[in-house]
Every structure is written in C-alpha cells, then in structure tokens.
Amino acid sequence: MVSLIVGNGPLLTALTSRIPPERWHVPAGAAPVEQAHWLSLQHVPPGKHGFIFTDQPAQWMPVQAAGWRIYWCDASQEPVGTEPLPEAALQRPITDMARRFWGVNIPDRRIVADVMLGHLERTGTVLTVTSNTGGVGKTVTSRRLAERAAQAGLRTLLIDGNMRQSSQRSFFDPMRNKPLHTIYEWRGGKPFPAANQGRTLGINYDISFAPPTGVTTTWRQYMMYIHEARKWWQLIIVDLDRISAADFDDETTAASSIVLPLTMGGDPCLVIVKAGIQTQGDAMGLLMAMPQAGVPRECVGIKDTIPVGMKQSEYQRFDYSRYGMFLGTEFQSEAASARIAAGQSGWADPGLDHVREAVLAWACPDIGFDPAKVKEKQKGWKL
Ligand SMILES: Nc1ncnc2c1ncn2[C@@H]1O[C@H](COP(=O)(O)OP(=O)(O)OP(=O)(O)O)[C@@H](O)[C@H]1O
Ligand SMILES: [Mg+2]
C-alpha cells in the first residue's frame, strides 16, 4: 500500500509534519498539477492499493483512471476524480488515520473532521486517572500532574471524581471548614461557579471538588461539566476512584460513563498499576477489558508504582504494550509520604518526576514536556 499526500491544508499539514517525508511525498514534480500529471502515469498494479490525500485542485481524473483512490481533504466540495474521506475516518482522531495509512503513531488526538473544518483551537485535553487497585497514588499523582502542567503554562483544572471520599478536599481542607466550591454547585452554563481558583489555595491550578458529604451527583453531571470546562481550561485532570473490568458494563460507574466516552473521543486515560506479581496480574484484567469495551489503545497510558518498602529486585516489568503506552515506573518514598502528610505541594521528587513528565508529554504533545531532560537532572539518583 502506498499513501501519498499532495497539499498543505490544516489536516494534511498535521500529517506531513509528523510522518517521515519519504512515506508520503510524491517523488516527482513540485506543484500539485505536476505531481498529479506524474501520478497519472504511475499505474497502480492490480491487487495493490494506492491512496492520495489532497486538498489541491489538479487533473485528478486521469490519476484515478491509473488506479489511485484520491481522497479530498478539504471542507469544500470534492472535485471530479476525488472522493470524500469515509465518514468513519472523519469522526476518528488524526492518530487513527496516520496508523491506518502509514503505520505510524502520531500523538494528535484531534478529530479529522474538526481539523479539516478549521476548528483548530483545541478544546482542553481531559486526562482521567484511575487504577484497578486502591491506594496506588491516583489522588496524589493527579495533583502532581496538575502542578507540573500549570508550571509549564497550561491552564489546568483538577476535578475530584472521588464522589464518596472527596479525596482532594481531604488534602486541602482536612477539617472541612473552608468555603470551597464543588461540582454540586454547577447548574449548567459556564463552569466557574464549581471551580476554586488555585491562588485561594496556594496552588497554581484550579480545582473543582467532589460534592459535600451526604450529597451526590451523577457521572452524567460530571460529563456535562467536563464538556463545559474543556472550553476554558487547556488541561483537565480527573481524579477517579479505582475501576474494574466489569464496570464497563455498568452505566452507573465512572468506567462506562467517564473513561469510555472520553477515550473514545481521543482523550487520554492514565492507569496506575501497583508493582507486584499479584497486583500487576490483576491490572492486566482491567487493561484487557478496556479495548474490549471500546477504549482505543493509544488513549491508554500505564505507569507502575513501586510502594515504599518494596525492593526493586521484587519488581518485574510486565509487557503492557498490547494495551497501551507504558510511561514508566514511579518509586514512592518515605520522604514523599511525609510531604504529602504535611499537606505540601510542589516539591522536586527524583523518584517520580520523570514519569510525571512522560505522562504529560504523552497526554499533551506539542507543549514541550521532555522526560529526557528531567531524567538528566536525576543522574546519580538511586532507589
Ligand atoms: N510518591 C509517593 N510516595 C510515598 N507515598 C505516597 C506517594 N504517593 C502517594 N503516597 C501515599 O499513598 C497513599 C495513597 O495515595 P493516594 O490517596 O494518592 O492513592 P489513591 O490511589 O488515590 O487511593 P484511593 O484508591 O483511596 O483513591 C497515601 O497515603 C499517600 O500519602
Ligand atoms: Mg484517590
């Protein structure tokens, strides 16, 4: 299969800027008209496939006659000889298109149709954080990711999705006596009434707490809130409870009502796995259920966490590559534990900062997160 690109509109540029030129470049002619002419002389052999993606007018009919399928990658009416992109491709992220036609993984989760129609301003990315077992550091990780993202200049909102425990509130307001805003206060429209400005809490990101004790809301309400919030914040991190494989069949769970729809729309989900043969094995159960439920593999990021007290020799890396992108192993430490207990934010942690950077580089490509640089600073550090 050969897939070539002729053009430079927003969609095609998103592809050509990431795919090696030798994979898509028409090897003759400079102007589209010349390229089309050359292509019309290259007959696609029977049984082979030749695709052309273009947004440029040219004599496409003779090219089509030579056996090429020519997809029109612009919102205008397709010229003779070309055909519109299939609906299935239009509604999927650019990532999918690059993989299908070039076998290349590119981290662009924007929907093809949106980009083609010129909706270039990205709505915020929504990163859900979950796990298969409790107490693996989802809540702390969510805060630490929000901190770093905000430091890098992203307008960031942390949403506490721990409906029953209000875990983030327990950290910022252990006595439960501060007048903080919760998602329960949101009644539609702009998302601000339910968000607390970071500076009121001494942090650099904004935060929306879970409903107060005794009051509940629905995952549907959360989704509607996220939908509004992503128009205003560039990154939204949702700290969720643990989920299980069976949850994907149960609409009342965050798995099927939050993780599934968001990832199907191209948003990333971080699954934290507790190191240990048993716990990693259990996590595989969840990871395997995700693609079966419809969660795209490229939207799943995985990190292992080694709890305090576990020796590195007891830890074995599993191969998660069939289920998602492995982003690294985090080492919990007594020092970090003491800081968390003391209510601190924003410290440098050599046990996990480069994993945090890797998660953000994966979830928000193009921002300039660079795990290699962070790792560099940590040379010489050992468990
Ligand atoms: N990097 C770390 N080093 C040491 N201890 C940590 C670290 N991160 C989290 N912890 C501790 O581990 C415990 C669990 O962390 P956290 O609440 O973030 O996990 P969780 O996965 O959100 O738990 P839950 O399943 O209850 O929501 C807490 O006591 C926290 O202080
Ligand atoms: Mg938690």
In this prediction, residue 42 has a pLDDT band, given cuts at 50, 70 and 90, of very high
Identify the band that residue 350 occupies on the pLDDT scale cut at 50, 70 and 90. Answer: confident
* Averaged pLDDT, 237-263: 96
pLDDT in tens, 275-328: 999 999 999 999 999 999 999 898 999 999 999 989 888 899 999 999 999 999
**Torsion angles phi and psi, residue 236, rounded to 5:** -120, 125
Q: Say yes or no to pLDDT of 114 above 90.
A: no
**Mutation pick for ligand 1 pocket among 340, 345, 347, 354 (CB with most ligand atoms within 8 Å):** 340
344 Cβ below 6 A of ligand 1: no
List where CATH 3.40.50.300 sits in the chain: 125-377
pLDDT over threshold 70, residue 253: yes
CATH architecture, range 125-377: 3-Layer(aba) Sandwich (3.40)
Index of the ligand 1 atom closest to the CA of residue 136? 21
* Ligand 1 contact via 136 beta carbon (within 6 Å): yes
Which segment of 38-42, 64-68, 114-118, 219-223 scores lowest on mean pLDDT?
114-118
Weakest-pLDDT range from 291-295, 353-357, 363-367: 363-367
Contact 242 CB / ligand 1 (< 6 Å): yes
Q: What is the DSSP letter of 147?
A: H
What is the token pair recorded at 227? 């939908």
Give the list of residues 6+ apart from residue 220 with CB closer than 8 angstroms, or none: 257
Question: Looking at the predicted structure, is the pLDDT value of residue 329 above 60?
Answer: yes
Q: For residue 70, what is the enclosing H or E element?
A: strand 69-72
Distance CA(362)–CA(103), nearest Å, equals 18
Instruction: State the average pLDDT over residues 235-263.
Output: 96
Kindly give the number of the ligand 1 atom that is closest to the alpha carbon of 336. Answer: 3
Distance CA(115)–CA(239), nearest Å, equals 29
Distance CA 63, CA 54 (A): 12
Rg, C-alpha atoms of the chain: 23
Ligand nearest to the CA of 333: 1
333 touches ligand 1 (CB under 6 Å) = yes
User: Cβ(39)–Cβ(103) under 8 Å?
Assistant: no
Could you tell me the distance, in angstroms and rounded to a whole number, from the CA of residue 369 to the centre of ligand 2?
A: 25
Residue 214 banded pLDDT, cuts 50, 70, 90: confident
Q: How far is CA 374 from CA 160, 224, 337, 340, in A?
A: 28, 36, 21, 22
- Is residue 309 within 6 Å of ligand 1 at its C-beta? no
Q: Which residues of 152-173 are buried (b: 16+ CB within 10 A; e: fewer)?
A: eebebbbbbbbbeebbbbbbbb
Residue 125 has pLDDT above 60, yes or no: yes
Q: What is the pLDDT of residue 122?
A: 63
User: Per-residue pLDDT for 382 more than 60?
Assistant: no
Q: Rounded mean pLDDT of 73-85?
A: 94
Average pLDDT (198-208) is 96
Residue 383: pLDDT band (50, 70, 90) is very low
Is the confidence at residue 236, as pLDDT, over 60? yes
What is the pLDDT at residue 109? 76
Lowest-confidence pick of 80-84, 164-168, 364-368 = 364-368
Q: For the whole model, what pTM was predicted?
A: 0.76
| pLDDT (0 to 100) of residue 213 | 85
How far is 375 from 180, CA to CA, in rounded Å? Answer: 37
pLDDT of residue 106: 82
Average pLDDT score over residue span 54-78: 96
pLDDT-derived band of residue 381, with 50, 70 and 90 as boundaries?
very low
Structure tokens at 133: 């077992």
Give the side-chain half-sphere CA count within 13 A for 195: 26
Task: Report the alpha-carbon distance of residue 84 to residue 337 in Å, rounded.
Answer: 55
How many other CB atoms are found less than 10 A from the CB of residue 48? 10
Percentage with pLDDT > 90 across the chain: 77
pLDDT at 374: 82
Per-residue tokens: 9: 């509109």
Q: What pLDDT is stored for residue 380 in this prediction?
A: 45
How far is 254 from 251, CA to CA, in rounded Å?
Answer: 8
Contacts of 326 (CB under 8 A, 6+ apart): 302, 303, 317, 320
pLDDT band at 378 (very low <50, low <70, confident <90, very high): low
Closest residue CA from atom 12 of ligand 1: 137
> Which residue has better confidence, 382 or 133?
133
* Averaged pLDDT score across all residues of the chain: 92
> Which DSSP symbol is given to 304?
E
The SS3 of residue 291 is: helix
